[in-house]
A and B are shown apart, each in its own frame.
Chain A
């Protein structure tokens, strides 16, 4: 009954229209850039390796993704830093 009422008044939390819109936005960025999830995973691991030479980062909280801005694609990374490493700690 509640469901029936919700239907009548057209109330739901997130509409499937919105879900489809969000999913398409993401999938098309990858389709257009021709980048597979595996490639993104390799890229992420390489970025971790390089950055870890200079700073301690939170690997679990780190996010990298492709975003599109008008008609170009950007690589967006959000990498929480715990600590800077001192020059002497730098490994080669």
Chain B
């Protein structure tokens, strides 16, 4: 029996696809059988982050329109052979798949994997409905910015109306700003949204570097964000892992910044 999780956000560009790729690889690294479904039809990116863009033959839209079975559309990961991507079409738009069709597909796939992670498009229109319908619970990704938190709250309302359990990931935290009091931290976002946090991920240049290479940072020992994703994976597997402390600049480094070096 699979656990079906949708990764959603409200505001666009806060890190849903990055989160989906990292959690997917992280779970696969632990030996779980995982499929990642890209529902951002027309704007697909999950294939790129996983380095699988050149191996796509059929898409989610082909499966929904019965031109292929979902097994035919799955792309197996090169390194983690228990990880699969169900890519979507880059030419069709969100109306190509309706929520009922998606629910039917998830029901069909449910017994074949340990985890099904669904990457949701931005916004609250049909694409959102399609992405969330088959999910058992939802991860809401937000950033420590006032507008991203407000939009997250709207999505949380929608998810609660559908009786979905929700956990929060705060992405792109800049510890130095938090320390200086110029950025919201996880605790205050927790307090505002009243949703349990399952992770806090620092802003990390390595995320961009890793996207360039098609290798999610969760594989990189040296990356802070990678460690944060490994911790989230552990929590998803039921382990109790405390939230990491991020290193911040010391007094002298800050002195240098202030005086412009």
Residue positions of A touching B, CB distance < 8 A: 4, 7-8, 10, 12, 15-18, 20-21, 23-25, 27-28, 31-32, 71
B258, A16: Cβ atoms under 8 Å? Answer: no
What's the tally of chain B residues with a CB closer than 8 Å to chain A?
23
Q: B255 — which chain A residues lie within 8 A by C-beta?
A: 8
Q: B184 — which chain A residues lie within 8 A by C-beta?
A: 17, 20-21
Contact of A21 among B180, B182, B188 (CB under 8 A): B188
A17, B183: Cβ atoms under 8 Å? Answer: yes
- Most A-side CB within 10 Å, residue of B157, B178, B182, B254: B182
Given A4-B258, A25-B192, A32-B153, check contact A12 B146 (CB 8 Å).
no
Q: Which positions 177-192 of chain B face chain A at CB distance < 8 Å?
A: 178-185, 188, 191-192
B251, A21: Cβ atoms under 8 Å? Answer: no
* Residue B194 is within 8 A (CB to CB) of chain A in the complex: yes
B192, A28: Cβ atoms under 8 Å? Answer: yes
Given A21-B191, A28-B150, check contact A15 B258 (CB 8 Å).
no
* Residue B172 is within 8 A (CB to CB) of chain A in the complex: no
Q: A25 — which chain B residues lie within 8 A by C-beta?
A: 192
Q: A15 — which chain B residues lie within 8 A by C-beta?
A: 180-182
The distance from the CB of A68 to the nearest CB of chain B, in whole angstroms, is: 9
Bound CA span A32–B150, Å: 10
Listed from nearest, the 9 A-B pairs whose CB atoms lie closest are A15-B181, A17-B181, A21-B188, A20-B146, A24-B192, A4-B258, A16-B182, A28-B153, A7-B258
- Most B-side CB within 10 Å, residue of A12, A18, A27, A28: A28
A23, B146: Cβ atoms under 8 Å? Answer: yes
B259, A4: Cβ atoms under 8 Å? Answer: yes
The distance from the CB of A69 to the nearest CB of chain B, in whole angstroms, is: 11
A16, B150: Cβ atoms under 8 Å? Answer: no
Bound CA span A4–B62, Å: 60
Q: Which positions 208-261 of chain B face chain A at CB distance < 8 Å?
A: 251, 254-255, 258-259
Bound CA span A3–B149, Å: 30
The distance from the CB of A9 to the nearest CB of chain B, in whole angstroms, is: 9
A17, B153: Cβ atoms under 8 Å? Answer: no
Contact of B149 among A4, A24, A32 (CB under 8 A): A24
Contact of A16 among B154, B181, B192, B254 (CB under 8 A): B181
Q: A4 — which chain B residues lie within 8 A by C-beta?
A: 258-259
Bound CA span A27–B146, Å: 10
Contact of A17 among B150, B154, B185, B194 (CB under 8 A): B185
A8, B254: Cβ atoms under 8 Å? Answer: yes
What would 23 A/B residue contacts be, using CB atoms closer than 8 Å? Answer: A4-B259, A7-B180, A7-B254, A7-B258, A8-B254, A8-B258, A15-B180, A15-B181, A15-B182, A16-B183, A17-B182, A17-B185, A21-B184, A21-B188, A21-B191, A21-B192, A24-B146, A24-B150, A27-B150, A28-B153, A28-B192, A31-B150, A31-B154
Given A24-B150, A31-B154, A32-B153, check contact A17 B178 (CB 8 Å).
yes
